[in-house]
Amino acid sequence: MALASSILIRLTNRTSTTLKKVVAATEEMEDVPGQIRENLYIKGNATQTLPVFRPLCNLCEFALSHTLVQEDAVYCPFFNPSAMAEPPGTNSSHLGSSPLPFPIPNFGNAFVEISALTTLIGSSVAESLILGNQGGAGVAWAAMSAFGLMDIVKTCVGAASPGWLRTVIGARSENTDAAVGLEVASSGRGRGAMKVRRSYGERGPSGLSVDASLFLNARRKQTDSEHKIKWEEIYAFDKLTSRGLAGFPDDKPYEAAIAPKNIALPDPQAYTARRNIKKPSKHINMTPDVYLYGVKPSIPLTIHGFKFQSSSSVLSKLERASSYTTLLAPSALLLLFLGLVARRPQVLDEEIDIIVGQFPTMTQLAESSLQSRVVIGAPRNPRKAIWWKAAWILGALICPLVTGFTYLFLAQQTNEIVMLWLMFQALWLLGRMLVHYFAESPKEVIAPRLLYKRPWETLPGIFRERVVNLMVALSKYMISVHPRQEHAYRDNASTPSELRRIIIETPTMLNYPLNESLKLSNYKMSQVDIEIHAVIGDPTLVSAVWLANVPGLTFENMYDTCILSLKLPLFGATSQYATIPCVHFLAGVPALEPLTFDEETNQPLDSVPQFYAKGRLQEPQCTWWYLIPAGERSWLVVRQDFRSPVLGKHSAEVMSDERVTAILSRGNLLISIAHVSDVKSALENSRMARETLTEILS
């Protein structure tokens, strides 16, 4: 040991000659193992030996502790924290010995950093698999390889997020929209939902869907309470739904289907609603085009079990073959999760009702009427279920976490281990591409499902009620995007029961029964007290005529239409209330502003009239004008501040056609109507819309 102490003192010498003598003297010692030279690296020595795993003697440990910080020190891989790494003095281009059948270049940690960049490479195959386009097993196969892993994380976040959030965070892609669609819920009024709506501009959504499960559950329970209709604006159909909608028959638009004359009315009160219409539009089909699926939908939640079994066997073999498969943890967890989901019953229902078509807007031309189609009983997309979202959330959380730990672990390994890991990644990358190529896509299952048009007269009552729910949802959407804004229609009837009570249960009259003594000259004003019981605004009417594909009635033509339910006077009335098609517009002047014009000449005082196009945003102080027909050339005019409730008692002014024209032609109301003929044209549209509502609600 005295000799060993003297050797340790000599180790402090920084010359290479002294170091070599120390090694030579150490080999001659009897109490020092002869293999210690195999554990020493001499700086500058061209021949180096790979470390051998054996315990170190006290002499070596003490020597290394005194010489580790020296420039020409003796290095021991079992004492150095970076034990498995090459010595710092090694040439980077040197090819050392390797347990593999081929030499491995020494790239150091830079090789691991370069391989980590492969996770940032986009992969359309991995994105398609993680979205379930090749079935449920493809979700596990997508995370097998590290290549394109960050793209998988982004896709998982986008698929698990609602449509508005996906747009805000920038996780939206064409593949994500094709997998889960892009919808905005009816309750979406936040900044993200408005961003989606603004991005589509005048085009608007491509459709609107209503989940009929709430309605069907309330019907089964036979509850009298009105269910709340929830809808979603569809801006991009998912692939499964769009493939089914591609089967629409090529019908000629607006080709009237003449119904048989002897058809029993399903509701005896429907005749009461129709009898007062002297000239019904029998030449126009005023019923929606309703389509149903020819066969029952059958969409598998996951792909066949064969691929699950094959994936599980491959995973187990790989885990037994190598202990460096840390990155397979996301695939294993996703596979286990999807295996549990596959044991659940399939999500197959027919409770989704869809309106397909470009919604009416102010830019629509009368010559190019838009056609709408109603699909009853569309299947629910399985990938919108909570289990798929949970799988995507799990993948978005686990993949980056496990990947980070994997590369931290690989940074401490030798090049042989890193190369072995890369070979496995290339193998799984090849397997992922093969699965994507050979796996059968579940979207092919929906291909043979064809749609057929069902005549309105043969539809069951429950299907008609579901069409009414779609119409109500569409009217609420039209209110939400209306230029007059939502609060202008807060008193409008908005439920199917209210619409039936107004249109079906209440008798319809073309004119308000005005006493002959009140029909005075054009210049003398008369006041009549009336009571408005209910209002059906233009959003509901334009929704009805668009849903029924009535030609010539665009959003602009229906802009000033409405239907009022009024309490009738006591004289000559057979019913207490009556439904009367009317005209309304939102004037840009206060309600209390006097109508100043020359009473003797019946000419307006202002010389420069101002008329504004329809669809203009309302002024801060606006007034609702309701023009109720009261005879051949008489009108009841009601003016009410739009911030005040419309329902209730009002004082109406009796006006003639000439007086109405004089007021409108003045041009100070900031509207587009300039003559009583425009009012009568809007009145005819209101009456036609009332006919359409009667057909749909009866």
657-681: per-residue pLDDT in tens? Answer: 888 888 888 877 888 888 899 999 9
Rounded to the nearest 10°, the torsion over CA 278, 282, 286, 290 is 140
Per-residue pLDDT for 568 more than 50? yes
Would 617 be classed as within a structural domain?
Answer: yes
Would 100 be classed as within a structural domain?
Answer: no
- Please tell me whether residues 244 and 318 are part of one structural domain: yes
Would 155 be classed as within a structural domain?
Answer: yes
Beta carbons of 649 and 530 less than 8 angstroms apart: yes
Q: What is the 3-state secondary structure (H, E, C) of 58-71?
A: HHHHHHHHHHCCCC
Q: What is the 3-state secondary structure (H, E, C) of 485-526?
A: CHHHHCCECCCHHHHHHHHHHCCECCCCCCCHHHCCCCCCCE
Distance (Å, rounded) from C-alpha 344 to C-alpha 361? 44
Residue 15 confidence (pLDDT): 41
Residue 493 main-chain phi, psi, to 5 deg? -65, 130
Per-residue pLDDT for 566 more than 80? yes
Distance (Å, rounded) from C-alpha 482 to C-alpha 388? 36
Question: Which residue, among 524, 528, 682, 488, has the nearest Cα to 599 in the 3D structure?
Answer: 524
Written as one string, the DSSP assignment of 381-416 is PGGGSHHHHHHHHHHHHHHHHHHHHHHHHHTTS-HH
> Mind listing the pLDDT tens digit for each residue in 604-616?
555 566 677 776 6
Residue 523 main-chain phi, psi, to 5 deg? -110, -15
- Residue 659 is which amino acid? R
Would 416 be classed as within a structural domain?
Answer: yes
Domain boundary (75, 90, 105) is at: 90
Beta carbons of 223 and 210 less than 8 angstroms apart: no
For 566-577, what is the mean pLDDT?
Answer: 72
Q: What angle do CA 86, 92, 98 make, to 5 degrees?
A: 55
Would 381 be classed as within a structural domain?
Answer: yes
Question: Which residue, among 390, 424, 396, has the nearest Cα to 136 in the 3D structure?
Answer: 390
Per-residue pLDDT for 164 more than 50? yes
- In sign, the C-alpha dihedral spanning 564, 565, 571, 573 is positive
Distance (Å, rounded) from C-alpha 619 to C-alpha 603? 26
For 419-445, what is the mean pLDDT?
Answer: 75
For 582-594, what is the mean pLDDT?
Answer: 75
- Please tell me whether residues 559 and 611 are part of one structural domain: yes
Beta carbons of 566 and 578 less than 8 angstroms apart: yes
Residue 144 confidence (pLDDT): 78
Give 528's strand partners: 652
* Helix, strand or coil, per DSSP, at residue 164: helix
Distance (Å, rounded) from C-alpha 590 to C-alpha 620? 9
Domain boundary (433, 451, 469) is at: 451
Would 456 be classed as within a structural domain?
Answer: no
Strand ranges for 237-372 from DSSP E: 290-293, 352-356
Residue 330 confidence (pLDDT): 58
**Residue 405: CA count within 13 A, CB half-sphere:** 11
> Mind listing the pLDDT tens digit for each residue in 42-80?
444 444 444 444 444 444 444 444 444 444 444 444 444
Burial-class residue 567 by CB neighbours within 10 Å (0-12, 13-18, 19+).
middle
- Please tell me whether residues 332 and 424 are part of one structural domain: yes
> Mind listing the pLDDT tens digit for each residue in 105-129?
544 455 555 555 665 565 778 788 8
For 568-587, what is the mean pLDDT?
Answer: 80
Residue 42 belongs to domain spanning = 2-90
Q: What is the 3-state secondary structure (H, E, C) of 607-633?
A: CCCCCCCCCCCCCCCCEEEEEEECCCC
Distance (Å, rounded) from C-alpha 187 to C-alpha 202? 21
- Residues whose CB falls within 8 Å of the CB of residue 25, separated by 6 or more in sequence, listed in order: 3, 7
Residue 114 confidence (pLDDT): 56
Owner of token pair 């965070």? 169
Residue 500 confidence (pLDDT): 93
Give 374's strand partners: 290, 355
- Please tell me whether residues 207 and 298 are part of one structural domain: yes
Distance (Å, rounded) from C-alpha 344 to C-alpha 276? 57
Beta carbons of 245 and 381 less than 8 angstroms apart: no
> Mind listing the pLDDT tens digit for each residue in 195-232?
787 777 667 788 899 988 888 877 777 555 566 788 88
Long-range contacts of 182-190, Cβ-Cβ distance < 8 Å, separation of 24 or more? 182/234, 182/235, 182/236, 183/209, 183/232, 183/233, 183/234, 183/235, 184/232, 184/233, 184/235, 185/230, 185/232, 186/230, 186/231, 186/232, 186/233, 186/473, 186/476, 186/477, 187/230, 188/164, 190/164
> Mind listing the pLDDT tens digit for each residue in 500-512?
999 999 999 999 8
Distance (Å, rounded) from C-alpha 698 to C-alpha 651? 33
- Please tell me whether residues 75 and 133 are part of one structural domain: no
- Please tell me whether residues 549 and 417 are part of one structural domain: no
> Measured between alpha carbons, how far is residue 526 from residues 522, 529, 605 in Å?
10, 10, 22
For 184-188, what is the mean pLDDT?
Answer: 78
Count of domains forming the chain: 3
- Please tell me whether residues 67 and 161 are part of one structural domain: no
* More confident: 684 or 10: 684
Domain boundary (428, 451, 474) is at: 451
* Helix, strand or coil, per DSSP, at residue 317: helix
- Residue 293 is which amino acid? Y
> Mind listing the pLDDT tens digit for each residue in 331-360?
555 555 555 555 454 545 678 899 998 888
> Mind listing the pLDDT tens digit for each residue in 618-669?
666 688 899 999 888 889 999 988 788 889 999 898 888 888 888 888 877 8
- Residue 90 is which amino acid? T
- Residue 136 is which amino acid? G
- Please tell me whether residues 212 and 82 are part of one structural domain: no
Strand ranges for 123-270 from DSSP E: 182-185, 207-211, 231-236
Token digits of residue 392: 């995507």
Beta carbons of 376 and 353 less than 8 angstroms apart: yes
Beta carbons of 235 and 183 less than 8 angstroms apart: yes
Would 480 be classed as within a structural domain?
Answer: no
- Please tell me whether residues 143 and 208 are part of one structural domain: yes
- Please tell me whether residues 336 and 238 are part of one structural domain: yes
Token digits of residue 415: 């090049």
Long-range contacts of 271-274, Cβ-Cβ distance < 8 Å, separation of 24 or more? 272/507, 273/503, 273/504, 273/506, 273/507, 273/508, 273/579, 273/694, 273/698, 274/508, 274/691, 274/694
- Please tell me whether residues 241 and 386 are part of one structural domain: yes
Give 654's strand partners: 526, 636
Owner of token pair 């209503």? 210
Beta carbons of 257 and 210 less than 8 angstroms apart: no
Would 459 be classed as within a structural domain?
Answer: no
- Mean pLDDT over the full length of the chain: 70
Distance between first and last Cα of the chain: 111
- Please tell me whether residues 356 and 427 are part of one structural domain: yes
For 274-300, what is the mean pLDDT?
Answer: 57
Per-residue pLDDT for 143 more than 80? no
